Structure 1
């Protein structure tokens, strides 16, 4: 496991199709240590707080291993922070990381809460309307951390697994249940049993479970 870049950026205005778009997706590598609070990294910001940021999504994480795939798809070289992530990592793939896993990141302690949901602003940034759906289909989504203990994050912090969640619900499985295996009642119950799941994903899965169980009555 290795952190290759810590990235931050304040919301800014992009001109897309002749219209102004305010977005916090533009993140760039930091060259100084930053303080990680319970809601976000120093120097960072989100434009739409209804769907981004907050205690369950304090840090967005993306896997460097996926960069080569997207460089081929987009036909350009991508710099760290290209997917709006705060933390670019090696060795923390969606297939290995579980909801509720805890890591030490620099002086901070963080916990996995949910996969990252690609939004339309990713499509706007790269001029590919199909990009969010492609991210969903590949499962190369990345994920979010909540902050258990605040602390300073160095430029290239050490990352260490502190505890593995016994539920074993990987980010990959969460994506599968969310977007593909949508009628899997037992799978939904399994992910809902993970107390560390983010509030928004818990609400979504709880609603779906009720609908599926009512349909089977």
Structure 2
């Protein structure tokens, strides 16, 4: 198997109260690093979400954010971002959105996971990091990170690697899918091609099918 990704941080956390601009909100974005966690079909033990519109469920059990983007955002916003600033479970190098594909299956420690969708970011990313423009830039670039479903449960350590086991299709990367959903939903051909990917998350399938109506 080809080694694809090196974990830079493994993080979990339950939803808790955050105070942003004097407003209290409950969010699961504030995760803490850990050395190991058990991964189940619903996600890591010790992890949780508050906003189920954007996070959680079997198709979104694990959130990954590429390590390479941290340096780019630091240069753009002239501040330090430390993992897991984007609320990710795993911050990983060598797996940016353009290089992985919807449906890719990876081993992750003792577990097996499959890419289902790009992340649809919400305003908590900007609030959590104190940068009002961050959400818009993430959507604009497509550097959203992405989600996995869990095919086989198992223990994951912060020293684990992600190794590519099977590539179901090599035509639509996560970045391609993000562009279609965020910027190109009126392109019927692009939408139909993305819908042909059987491994696509149900929530994305519903959004794209509505775009065809």
Asked if Structure 1 and Structure 2 have the same fold, meaning a TM-score greater than 0.5 normalized by the shorter chain, the answer is yes
Is 1:141 aligned to 2:144, yes or no?
Answer: yes
The DSSP-based 3-state class of the residue aligned with 1:95 is helix
Structure showing the higher strand proportion among its residues: 2
Mapped partners of 1:138, 1:163: distance in 2: 27
Is 1:23 aligned to 2:27, yes or no?
Answer: yes
Q: Which residue of 142, 152, 155 corresponds with 1:152? A: 155
Q: Which residue of 97, 101, 104 corresponds with 2:100? A: 97
What TM-score do you get using the length of structure 1 for normalisation?
0.92
Mapped partners of 1:80, 1:167: distance in 2: 29
Match of 1:10 in 2: 14
Contact 1:28 / 1:80 at 8 angstroms: preserved in 2? no
Contact 1:56 / 1:144 at 8 angstroms: preserved in 2? yes
Task: Report 1:1-217 matches (<5 A).
Answer: 1-31=5-35, 33-166=36-169, 168-210=171-213
Q: Over aligned residue pairs, what C-alpha RMSD do you find?
A: 1.2
Unaligned runs of 5+ in 2: none
Unaligned runs of 5+ in 1: 211-217
What TM-score do you get using the length of structure 2 for normalisation?
0.94
Bigger CA drift: 123-132 or 105-114?
A: 123-132
1:62-109 deviations in Å (ceiling 9; x for gaps): 000000111123332222111000011111111011100000000100
